[in-house]
Structures are given as C-alpha cells and as structure tokens.
A and B are shown apart, each in its own frame.
Chain A
Amino acid sequence: QKEVEQNSGPLSVPEGAIASLNCTYSDRGSQSFFWYRQYSGKSPELIMFIYSNGDKEDGRFTAQLNKASQYVSLLIRDSQPSDSATYLCAGDTGGFKTIFGAGTRLFVKA
C-alpha cells in the first residue's frame, strides 16, 4: 500500500513565526508532490507543488523535497492567523492517481 504519512498535530505557532510541516512517502516511484490547504468545512486548495529535489519558494511558502530520504516539507514564514487550517501533503503515483496524507492541523495564535 503506497502511503503518505504526516503528523496530525495540532501544530501551534505564534503569529509571525515559521511553521514547519513535514511529510514522508513510501512510493519511490512518486514524481510530484503537492501541498494543499483545507479550511474547516471547505475543499482542499493547492498552495504548492514540487517535483525536483531541493527548495521551491512562492511568497511566504517554501516547499522542500528530498527524494533520497522520501521526505517533503512545507515552511510557512511570517505565519498569520489566516494560515490556521489543515495542510495536506500528497504524492503523485503515476501521473493521475494522487495519494493524500491525513493532514496536519496548524493553529497560528494571534
């Protein structure tokens, strides 16, 4: 069974701090990885994707991928209360099937 594992949290950080979210995956064949944000009662929305080893930055978000360690992370700089949500890590298993982790709940305290 191909899996994506995340710490369910909750992760609590003060406003303005860096939030660090981590994810591991079991399928070495996975090529692309995604971070989705899901607010309570809402659908997931894509915030970052990454498919090359290293870092990818987009505004306050940085995704990191290490294929040798099968590890993906998301850093959120200058965290805001509006960032409080569940963050879902997902891996692409072959171009069309996406496997999601259970998500990490993030709370940003004002």
Chain B
Amino acid sequence: DTGVSQDPRHKITKRGQNVTFRCDPISEHNRLYWYRQTLGQGPEFLTYFQNEAQLEKSRLLSDRFSAERPKGSFSTLEIQRTEQGDSAMYLCASSTTAAETGGYYEQYFGPGTRLTVT
C-alpha cells in the first residue's frame, strides 16, 4: 500500500454512460497525475495537477475527459459518453516536487480503477 487510494477499484458501465473516478493522494504530496494503461502497454499520461492547478492535459485526451482537484487534495476524473475504447486501467499517482527533493521525485501509484465499457 503506497498511501494513494482510488475508488472504485472496478467499474463496469454501458456505452454512453458517464463515469467518475476518485483519487486520494498522499496527504503531503502536491503533485497528482492521472494515467491510463491498457494490456501490454505502459501507463499513458493523461493529465497533471500541481496543487489545485491543472498544468497539462494530454492532447490524446478527448473533450469527453475532464479532471478536477478542488482545494488541492483529492482528484476526480470523469469520462462522459463512455466508449468501448475507454476500457482500461486508470491509474493515479502523486509526488512531491523535484525542487523539494533535490531534483528527484518518485511517483507513488494507487491501485488503479479498472473500467470495462460494455
């Protein structure tokens, strides 16, 4: 257990439905990341927050995806009008800033939310 929690762990939904996932990072970590991972691939960067500010969003992400991190604490990732191609493991990670650790930062991953779109 890394201290990063995600909820739910599994989600099965029908195509066209909206889903929302939650991530609770390690409390002192100000950086939070969302990734998507499909079978046989590495995690694919989706978006990144520093505190409550969303600083980058992957161009691969369609407008159906949105993420928030109110008050710089937990984060939510919402997928609207789900498609079968959205089926994947959605991973959240958190870290401190490189400046605080002399240029090195370790991302601690949560257990992930496995989404299945039928």
Contacts and interface: CB of A to CB of B under 8 A. Distances in A.
Contacts of A42: 111
Contacts, number: 52
Interface of B: 2, 31, 33, 35, 40-45, 48, 50, 55-56, 91, 98, 103-104, 106-107, 109-112
Interface residues of A, number: 22
Contact of B106 (A49, A95, A102): A49
A84 B50 CA distance: 34
A98 B110 CA distance: 16
B109 A44 contact: yes
A49 B41 CA distance: 20
Given A43-B91, A44-B109, A96-B31, A102 B48 contact: no
B107 A98 contact: yes
B48 A97 contact: yes
Given A43-B91, A43-B110, A90 B42 contact: yes
Given A51-B103, A98-B107, A43 B42 contact: no
